[in-house]
Amino acid sequence: MKAFKRKKIALIGAGQIGGNLALMAVQKKLGDVVLFDVVEGLPQGKALDIHQATPIDGLSNSITGTNDYKDIAGADLVIITAGKPRKPGMSRDDLLKDNATIMSSVAENVARYAPESNVLIISNPLDAMVFLFSKITGFPTNKVVGMSGILDASRFRTFIAMETGVSVNDIRAFVLGGHGDHMVPLPRFSYVGGIPLPEFPGMTQEKIEAMVERTRNGGGEIVALLKTGSAFYAPAAGAISMAEAILLDQKRVFSAASYCKGEYGYNDIFISLPVILGGNGVEKILEIKLTAEEKAALDHSAVDVENLKNDLKRMNFIK
């Protein structure tokens, strides 16, 4: 009889998102957690705090904090949140140089200590950071994915619920493209209780456009309100859903930043598209039929992603 082996999850970055990821991973019993950060005491303190909560909740997962990359060895899944958050007035793209420097170091160490892992990246600017990690490590592209579309869709679902008065549990939404100002919410593929959003009683094009625009600025709206940080609860929740799909081989359909080899006409970029996510990471990119207008919007977003990739080359982060 094969011995049972608990999954190991390594979290790189013990900030707001990383700390919430650690808590959620333990609460959902996804496996044993290693929380890494370069700041001494930060991951150890958060790990100890969470560990002290496990007796109250009747949980037995182990969680440890560390400043040493060697402790991530053997991880089944690595989730990367390391990087600087946005400040008011900053775009995700403004973070490129600083966070590319951080990601370069992270990538080298993950490749050294956890070369067989699946990797989920949350750091911004998302599409560029996923691309950079992939190029530095040379990991199979299906095993590297970015958390973007599930978060953007969750924001879209929230705003649809606010507008319609319907529970978010009965709302489905799809958002494609780069995780930036030109992301592409798709009302035609969004449903309220099975009813296409444009056909929902009382819905107007003006209302849809307002929800689409608020979705595109969903992260920026939170940054402006917080003033000293960026969103962390929703990004952590989105990443945990994707982590479950990978660790439990659930074969779920998400919109996620995935490597393109000709799909939708794109090559050598990571951009959020519909995928089947399972134990092998991105198991398939699903090509859906878009209208000319939807495809044009996605192409526009892809240009932004391509420009970020070219900026990484110009800054000599990649060749």
Residue 125 lies in a domain: yes
Q: How confident is the model at residue 93 (pLDDT cuts 50, 70, 90)?
A: low
Give pLDDT, residue 12.
98
Residues 309 and 232 in one domain: yes
CA distances from 71 to 33, 68, 74, 181, 206 (A): 10, 6, 9, 37, 52
Q: How many CA atoms lie within 13 A of 106 on its CB side?
A: 29
83 and 118 fall within a common domain? yes
Identify the band that residue 87 occupies on the pLDDT scale cut at 50, 70 and 90: confident
In a domain? residue 3: no
Q: Residues 20, 232: contact at Cβ < 8 Å?
A: yes
- Regarding whether 88 and 161 lie in a shared domain, the answer is no
Query: pTM, whole model, 2 decimals?
Result: 0.95
Average predicted confidence (pLDDT) for the chain: 94
**In the listed set 104, 131, 146, which residue is the last one of a domain according to the structure?**
146
Tell me the mean pLDDT in the region 196-210: 97
Q: Active-site residues: which are they?
A: 179
Q: Does 319 fall in a domain?
A: no
3 state SS of 273: strand
Type of residue found at 257: A
Of residues 66, 67, 78, 64, the one with CA closest to residue 114: 78
- Which pLDDT belongs to residue 193? 96
For residue 2, is it within any domain? no
- For the chain, the distance separating the N- and C-terminal CA atoms, rounded to the nearest angstrom, is 48
Residues 195 and 61 reside in one and the same domain: no
The average pLDDT across 79-89 equals 84
Both 141 and 153 in one domain: the answer is: no
Concatenated DSSP letters for 201-258? TT--HHHHHHHHHHHHTHHHHHHHHHSS----HHHHHHHHHHHHHHHTT--EEEEEEE
| Domain final position from 98, 125, 146 | 146
Q: What's the number of domains the chain is made of?
A: 2
Same domain, 173 and 91: no
**Is 239 in the same domain as 163?**
yes
Co-location of 57 and 193 in the same domain: no
Q: Give the integer Cα–Cα distance in Å for 171 and 156.
A: 9
**70 in a structural domain:** yes
Specify whether 253 is located in the same domain as 157. Answer: yes
Question: Smallest Cα–Cα separation from 175: which of 159, 194, 163?
Answer: 159
The identity of residue 173, as a single letter, is A
Give me the mean pLDDT over the 237-258 stretch. 97
Strand, coil or helix: 269: strand
Please check whether residues 173 and 285 belong to one and the same domain: yes
Full residue range of the structural domain in which residue 225 is found: 149-314
Task: Report the CATH number that the domain containing residue 302 is assigned in CATH.
Answer: 3.90.110.10
Say yes or no: 246 and 263 in one domain.
yes
pLDDT at 3: 53
Report the CATH number at residue 52. Answer: 3.40.50.720
| 194 in the same domain as 137 | no
Please give the average per-residue pLDDT across 12-38, as a whole number: 96
Is 138 domain-assigned? yes
Which domain-ending residue is among 93, 127, 146? 146
- Say if residue 2's pLDDT is above 60: no
pLDDT at 1: 45
Q: Tell me the C-alpha distance between 245 and 223, whole Å.
A: 29
How confident is the model over 34-83, as pLDDT tens digits?
999 999 999 999 999 999 999 998 887 789 999 999 999 999 999 999 99
Residue 89's pLDDT band, with cuts at 50, 70 and 90, is confident
Assess contact for 186 and 208: CB atoms under 8 A. no
CA 72 to chain centre: 20
